Structure 1
Amino acid sequence: MNVIEYFATPGAMTLPGSYATLFDCLPGEIGSLCRAIQGLMIHVHWLERYGVQLPKPRFDELQLRSVAAKLARIGELDPRPLTEVRAMDRRLIGNCRDFSVMLASILRYRGTPARARCGFARYFLPDHYEDHWVCEYWNAELQRWTTVDSQLDDLQRRVLAVEFDPLDVPRDQFLPGGEAWRLCRAGLADPDKFGIFDMHGLWFVRGNFVRDVASLNKIELLPWDCWGLVDVREEDLSAADLALLDRTAELTRGDVSEWETVRQLYESDERLRVPRVIRSYTDAGAQEVRLPELEHTSGH
């Protein structure tokens, strides 16, 4: 299996399961598909801009990891076909990771190679690299991976003054976690400019970087899920840990041409590999979470 074939099939988190046929009505063109997703979901950090207030229990939707669980909740909120634009208050609450993973799931269902990438975007705040996820898909016509930001609707583009096409995000506007790690480690970027809210620094870069490695192995976790090298204090990192991170960063910072090597590193090293039980840092505090999606996968 080559890299194109690998990303053309769903993984544990992107498998739609019994809800798969819901995707059949969705449009084929990538722009129309992103607009359909925007009509199903609403970004948690943009609620006020949209003029939406939601009760506290609704925010539990942010803890839904799998696409199957998201589709179930979308149906509970509004049972109509996925092509129907929901009222703002009937859209599933999500974040950049959720928009990206949903797009990747739909594309993989159709056999289009796609992968969610965790890293940092330059278009949210000036002189800052914001914690962010996007989706890459293999553009067969152009014979290259194309980056899509499926959360950027017309309102967000206007507020952020985004001038590029969100369906083909320029390479200098989104840095995969490995590239951010490489730049910071080489002294070419300030790690304190990477993060979100009051969280920033090389430890934050490391977290997104290792989450990106997991996502490249089709295990797309939540932005606050931690394990292995994500959940180690900076002062406790060994020289061997840093060597592994530096090597993996070189392999994952771009198109990931040496995909088999990345797979082997991930599968063979528990510092990178997602276990069946992780630690998740939610508003309620740190908690151990068992991942049922991984129960029947090998190597976990």
Structure 2
Amino acid sequence: MDRWARHSAYSDPGRHAALLDQAEPDITTASMVAQNLIAHYRFASTPLPESSNDDINARWLSTILEIDQQRHGAPPTAPRPEAERVQGCCRDHTLIAVGILRQHGVPARSRVGFADYLRPESRVDHVVAEAWLGGRWVRFDPGLAGPRGRVSDPHDIVVGNDSPFLTAATAWSGYRRRGRPIDDLGVRGGPVEFTGPPFVLSYLIMDVAHRFGDELLLWDFWGAMPLPGAPIDYELGDVLAELVQRADRQDETAELTLLDLYQHDPRIRAGDEIVRHSPRGAPPVRVSLIQRSTSTRVAATISTD
């Protein structure tokens, strides 16, 4: 569990570590702080200022905390008006919660998949958190303040094939092994429709990256992630889905095999440079993860939730 109790480059708070020290290392507090610091860029209850639109690309927790402190300069539990919070999404709620828990030595990680409890009769792409507590991975949604849909307790979401939160691995396996439909999983209504197998495979690769500490933005693309119209590596998806599901059942051999695959297979691992697309339709750009810089624009575009 040590690998999940230490900060990743993404969850490292940098010079703002004291802010995380101030938060109690429990799921309830971590979720409350996440909701207090982040306003969802699409689903906020009040209009968000255009001046903070670029907040959504703050991939490092240290950057998110820096933006927050420039606006507020207050402890993370001090209430922020929604319109003055950092614009973000479920990935950012989760990164903050995971960062708080890791800061106190609690193993925690993010999971990428699909939720059926956020919008009526719809499975939405989503990121939640898991914390190792009481000898098990407790799955929770840092963006929820209370019950919603099939989730009666957002601080302990049931797991399994019928979970309200479907991991990308479970979605892929259900599709490939049992013919379960996944064409509704993805993004509709943006500049490009992106759903079904290519989207789920992309999220499966994303989930593996998050599992091992590369908590990238949901609109980052690399390796074998297939953009619409590109070839789909079904065999790779099958291998990853099986390993993730076995690892989720505490199969240590599968966990280590998955880690080795991620560390050495460029189809899966996010290398020194990725392509960042935009949920708002802006042209994609190349981003250096080593230099933490944005460089040239590239030719394609896609929109994700």
Q: With the length of structure 2 as denominator, give the TM-score of the two structures.
A: 0.86
Alignment of 1:3-152 (within 5 A): 4-47=1-44, 50=45, 52-139=46-133, 141=134, 143-152=135-144
Identify unmatched segments of 5+ residues in structure 1.
Answer: 296-300
Residue 61 of structure 1 contacts residue 92 of structure 1 at CA under 8 Å; is this kept in 2? yes
After TM superposition, give the deviation of residue 27 of structure 1 in Å.
Answer: 2.2
**Distance of aligned partners of 1:267 and 1:165 in 2 relative to their CA distance in 1, 3 Å threshold:** same
Give the Cα separation in 1 of the matches to 2:227 and 2:33: 39
Kindly indicate whether residue 192 of structure 2 is the aligned counterpart of residue 210 of structure 1: no
Q: Deviations over 1:256-297 (max 9, x none)?
A: 6321111100111100010111111112122111113789xx
Whichever residue aligns with residue 201 of structure 2, its letter is: R
Q: Deviations over 1:111-149 (max 9, x none)?
A: 11100011111112344321000000101x2x1101010
Give the Cα separation in 1 of the matches to 2:137 and 2:151: 20
Give the Cα separation in 1 of the matches to 2:292 and 2:242: 27
Give the Cα separation in 2 of the matches to 1:86 and 1:210: 34
Residue 134 of structure 1 contacts residue 147 of structure 1 at CA under 8 Å; is this kept in 2? yes
The structure with more helix, counted as a fraction of residues: 1
Q: Deviations over 1:66-112 (max 9, x none)?
A: 10110100101110111201111221111001101111111111111
Residue 25 of structure 2 contacts residue 101 of structure 2 at CA under 8 Å; is this kept in 1? no
Among 179, 193, 217, the alignment partner of 1:188 is: 179
Kindly indicate whether residue 157 of structure 2 is the aligned counterpart of residue 165 of structure 1: no
Identify unmatched segments of 5+ residues in structure 2.
Answer: 294-305
Q: 3-state SS of the aligned residue for 2:114?
A: strand
Kindly indicate whether residue 283 of structure 2 is the aligned counterpart of residue 289 of structure 1: no
Kindly indicate whether residue 218 of structure 2 is the aligned counterpart of residue 223 of structure 1: yes
Give the Cα separation in 1 of the matches to 2:292 and 2:268: 15
Q: 3-state SS of the aligned residue for 1:21?
A: helix
What is the number of residues matched between the two proteins?
Answer: 280
**Distance of aligned partners of 1:112 and 1:121 in 2 relative to their CA distance in 1, 3 Å threshold:** same
Aligned-pair Cα RMSD in Å: 1.9
Q: 3-state SS of the aligned residue for 2:183?
A: helix
Give the Cα separation in 1 of the matches to 2:195 and 2:228: 14
- In structure 1, what is the equivalent of residue 275 of structure 2? 279
Give the Cα separation in 2 of the matches to 1:246 and 1:234: 20
After TM superposition, give the deviation of residue 33 of structure 1 in Å.
Answer: 2.6
Residue 38 of structure 2 contacts residue 87 of structure 2 at CA under 8 Å; is this kept in 1? yes
After TM superposition, give the deviation of residue 221 of structure 1 in Å.
Answer: 0.6
Kindly indicate whether residue 257 of structure 2 is the aligned counterpart of residue 261 of structure 1: yes
- In structure 2, what is the equivalent of residue 298 of structure 1? none
Higher alpha-carbon deviation: 221-230 or 196-205:
196-205
Residue 151 of structure 2 contacts residue 164 of structure 2 at CA under 8 Å; is this kept in 1? no
Give the Cα separation in 2 of the matches to 1:294 and 1:130: 29
Q: 3-state SS of the aligned residue for 2:119?
A: coil
**Distance of aligned partners of 1:168 and 1:189 in 2 relative to their CA distance in 1, 3 Å threshold:** same
Give the Cα separation in 2 of the matches to 1:138 and 1:260: 18
Whichever residue aligns with residue 44 of structure 1, its letter is: Y
**Distance of aligned partners of 1:163 and 1:11 in 2 relative to their CA distance in 1, 3 Å threshold:** closer
Higher alpha-carbon deviation: 112-121 or 192-201:
192-201
Whichever residue aligns with residue 292 of structure 1, its letter is: I
Residue 12 of structure 1 contacts residue 294 of structure 1 at CA under 8 Å; is this kept in 2? no
After TM superposition, give the deviation of residue 13 of structure 1 in Å.
Answer: 0.7
Whichever residue aligns with residue 123 of structure 2, its letter is: Y
Q: 3-state SS of the aligned residue for 1:46?
A: coil
Residue 225 of structure 1 contacts residue 279 of structure 1 at CA under 8 Å; is this kept in 2? yes
